[in-house]
Chains A and B, each alone.
Chain A
Amino acid sequence: MSPDHSPLLIIDGLVKQFGGFRALDGLSFSLAAGEILGLVGPNGSGKTTCINIVSGLYTPDGGSIHFEGRSVAGLPSHRLAHAGINRTFQIPRPFLTLTVRENVDIAIAYGRNRDTRTDTDALLSSLGLLAFADQPAAELNSARQKMLDLARALATGPRLLLVDELAAGLNPAELEHIAAKLKDLACSGIALLVVEHLMGFIGQITDRIVVMNAGKEIFEGSLANAFTNSQVVEVFLGGEDAA
């Protein structure tokens, strides 16, 4: 994260409208290789929408996205996957009737991973899925389906990984394991954008967070400093009953 490094991902003034409603209203931040950035904010503040745009599900209505120096806004998902951007889903989306192994094989076959040594079994094993390799993905519980989402994303060899509420619903041991896993990925040079509600988890793995409210960034800095910021405190506590 040396300052002379130009960031891997630069998002500037991103706008997304659904009908008359602005889900993103000029969001800007950047992310360096090897960095884990936490994206937090109340429900409906636009976190998933941001990930959906960066991963090509939606086209933006304004603003720019640069990845490794080139504009990628509006490219279809498969081209972004080839370029080195991948993600997990808040509600996991495996290929249900395919086996766990096939779910990963397909991403290796089509993902154009630059690292040709990527091995399905090793990947499944590192995420605790090897024992289920030959079962249909539909038979996995939700926590394991999330791990399968992650395995599929990693199979494409991403340099930017967008993680949408991966920790929700995991038990403490699983949380510990996945935190270590995400840190390993960052150490290997992958940039991670992590959306999460569990502040303990965010604090454990991130150096820096962006706090969003109503489609805008209202704070950027460390988690500790965030809660000295009056606007952040109001957004997180103001709406809740007499906290």
Chain B
Amino acid sequence: MRHVLLILVPVVATFAILPSVYSNHLLLFNFMIFIMLAQGVNVIYGFTGYLPFGYVGFFGAGAYGFSLMVIHLQAPPLLALPVGAGAAVVLGLFLTPLFRLSGAYFSIANLAAALAVLQVVSNPNLESITKGPYGISLSGVFNPTLAYGTALAVLAATLGLVIYLRNSRFGMALQAIREDPISAGMAGINVVRERIIAWLLSALIAGLAGGVFAWYVSVFYPETVFSGEFTIFAIVFALFGGNATVVGPILGVVILYGLYNAVGISTPQYFQLIYGALIMGLVLFLPNGLVSLLRRWGLNVP
């Protein structure tokens, strides 16, 4: 409860108030999307240790799930959103056999899966279903104010979930699995099941983020919502801030995405290079992120 008051409420309130004083709403919206995605990476990487290089696949699946519901079934956005996110969860279910792979093999197979989904979605032969490479236009449901408000709700739910993981025995079990799956089994934890639950929750977060993103921007191409940049940014932000904490990924987004927008927009190619190098550096030298530095100074970081 303390974390809800100290973290969830202030963060959500900030994003609720800022649009009335700051005019670049798209930027604020993107900050929310990246907090969701960084927290989604946190759930699967921070708590269970699997680094999902194809994480954007869930984001894209959510965006397309949402859009296809709207286009083909004329579903209202607030119904299309959960169903669309369901597409990400289904994709997550299909990918559960990847957990047989360890470490880098899991990450690479996950990346390949995301690319495969992009290929299917952007296939010109599927134009009648997915609009193929020509992209999606949702002008009929365009409503940035309501979409922004819905994103606030998804953000709140995401933070609520991570706060729950941080404070519950389920979250502790996930961390035990990350530390040593064999010992976790001996402690009585159903390793396979708990890991899949975390994976699907992580997919659900990205799916909701993708759906609400599709709604907010309303016009996009397959490459937009399957862009590897989403994965890289989300991973870097989560790693930089500190995994398996609530505040780490938020700090990561605020600092690094803030920096990116302040100086990086004009030279994005350098930023990708820098962020790629940052991933390697962080994994090797500061695996627990900024938060672990704060802890070293004696601060107790939730």
Which residues of A are at the interface with B, using a C-beta cutoff of 8 A?
55-57, 76-78, 81-82, 86-87, 89, 93-98, 102, 105-107, 109-112, 152-153, 155-156
Most buried by A among B175, B179, B185, B188: B188
Q: A93-B180, A95-B180 are in contact. Are A106 and B191 (CB under 8 A)?
A: no
26 contacts between A and B (CB under 8 A): A57-B185, A77-B182, A77-B185, A77-B191, A81-B185, A87-B186, A94-B179, A95-B175, A95-B176, A95-B184, A96-B180, A97-B179, A98-B176, A102-B172, A106-B172, A106-B176, A107-B186, A109-B172, A109-B173, A110-B173, A152-B186, A152-B187, A153-B186, A155-B187, A156-B186, A156-B188
A94, B192: Cα distance in complex, Å: 19
Per-position contact with A for B153-190: 1 when CB-CB < 8 Å, else 0?
00000000000000001001101100110111111111
- Evaluate contact between A106 and B169: CB separation under 8 angstroms: yes
Q: A98-B172, A106-B172, A106-B173 are in contact. Are A81 and B188 (CB under 8 A)?
A: yes
| Contact partner, B175, options A57, A86, A97, A112, Cβ 8 Å | A97
Determine the chain A residues whose CB is within 8 A of the CB of B173 once the complex forms: 106, 109-110
A87, B188: Cα distance in complex, Å: 12
Determine the chain A residues whose CB is within 8 A of the CB of B169 once the complex forms: 105-106, 109-110
Nearest-neighbour CB distance to chain B for A80, whole angstroms, equals 8
Determine the chain B residues whose CB is within 8 A of the CB of A153 once the complex forms: 186
- Evaluate contact between A86 and B186: CB separation under 8 angstroms: yes
A112, B188: Cα distance in complex, Å: 7
The residue of chain A having its C-beta at the shortest distance from the C-beta of B187 within the complex is: A107
4 further A-B contacts with Cβ under 8 Å, apart from A55-B186, A78-B190, A110-B188, are: A57-B182, A94-B183, A96-B180, A109-B173
Chain B binding surface SS class? helix
A152, B173: Cα distance in complex, Å: 13
Determine the chain A residues whose CB is within 8 A of the CB of B172 once the complex forms: 98, 102, 105-106, 109
Q: A95-B175, A97-B175, A98-B175 are in contact. Are A110 and B183 (CB under 8 A)?
A: no
Nearest-neighbour CB distance to chain A for B287, whole angstroms, equals 10
The residue of chain A having its C-beta at the shortest distance from the C-beta of B185 within the complex is: A77
- Evaluate contact between A95 and B179: CB separation under 8 angstroms: yes
| Contact partner, A56, options B179, B185, B187, Cβ 8 Å | B185
Closest 10 CB pairs of A and B: A77-B185, A110-B188, A111-B188, A95-B179, A107-B187, A81-B188, A109-B169, A93-B183, A95-B176, A110-B189
Nearest-neighbour CB distance to chain A for B193, whole angstroms, equals 9
Determine the chain B residues whose CB is within 8 A of the CB of A86 once the complex forms: 186
Determine the chain A residues whose CB is within 8 A of the CB of B183 once the complex forms: 89, 93-95, 152
A112, B190: Cα distance in complex, Å: 12
| Contact partner, B185, options A76, A94, A95, Cβ 8 Å | A76
Determine the chain B residues whose CB is within 8 A of the CB of A93 once the complex forms: 180, 182-183
- Evaluate contact between A81 and B176: CB separation under 8 angstroms: no
A156, B184: Cα distance in complex, Å: 12
The residue of chain B having its C-beta at the shortest distance from the C-beta of A76 within the complex is: B185
Nearest-neighbour CB distance to chain A for B282, whole angstroms, equals 16
Determine the chain B residues whose CB is within 8 A of the CB of A94 once the complex forms: 179-180, 183
A76, B175: Cα distance in complex, Å: 19
Determine the chain B residues whose CB is within 8 A of the CB of A110 once the complex forms: 169, 173, 187-189
Determine the chain A residues whose CB is within 8 A of the CB of B192 once the complex forms: 76
The residue of chain B having its C-beta at the shortest distance from the C-beta of A158 within the complex is: B186
Nearest-neighbour CB distance to chain A for B174, whole angstroms, equals 10
- Evaluate contact between B186 and A77: CB separation under 8 angstroms: yes
Determine the chain A residues whose CB is within 8 A of the CB of B176 once the complex forms: 95, 98, 106
A102, B174: Cα distance in complex, Å: 12
- Evaluate contact between B186 and A106: CB separation under 8 angstroms: no
The residue of chain B having its C-beta at the shortest distance from the C-beta of A81 within the complex is: B188
Determine the chain B residues whose CB is within 8 A of the CB of A55 once the complex forms: 186
Nearest-neighbour CB distance to chain B for A57, whole angstroms, equals 6
A107, B176: Cα distance in complex, Å: 10
Determine the chain A residues whose CB is within 8 A of the CB of B180 once the complex forms: 93-96
A110, B174: Cα distance in complex, Å: 12
Per-position contact with A for B1-25: 1 when CB-CB < 8 Å, else 0?
0000000000000000000000000
Nearest-neighbour CB distance to chain B for A194, whole angstroms, equals 17
A107, B190: Cα distance in complex, Å: 12
Nearest-neighbour CB distance to chain B for A192, whole angstroms, equals 16
Nearest-neighbour CB distance to chain A for B198, whole angstroms, equals 15
Most buried by B among A81, A89, A110: A110
The residue of chain B having its C-beta at the shortest distance from the C-beta of A57 within the complex is: B182
The residue of chain A having its C-beta at the shortest distance from the C-beta of B244 within the complex is: A97
Interface residues of B in 244-275 (CB under 8 A from A): none
A102, B169: Cα distance in complex, Å: 10
Q: A93-B180, A96-B179 are in contact. Are A111 and B185 (CB under 8 A)?
A: no
Determine the chain A residues whose CB is within 8 A of the CB of B187 once the complex forms: 78, 81, 106-107, 110-111, 152, 155-156
Determine the chain B residues whose CB is within 8 A of the CB of A105 once the complex forms: 169, 172
A184, B138: Cα distance in complex, Å: 71
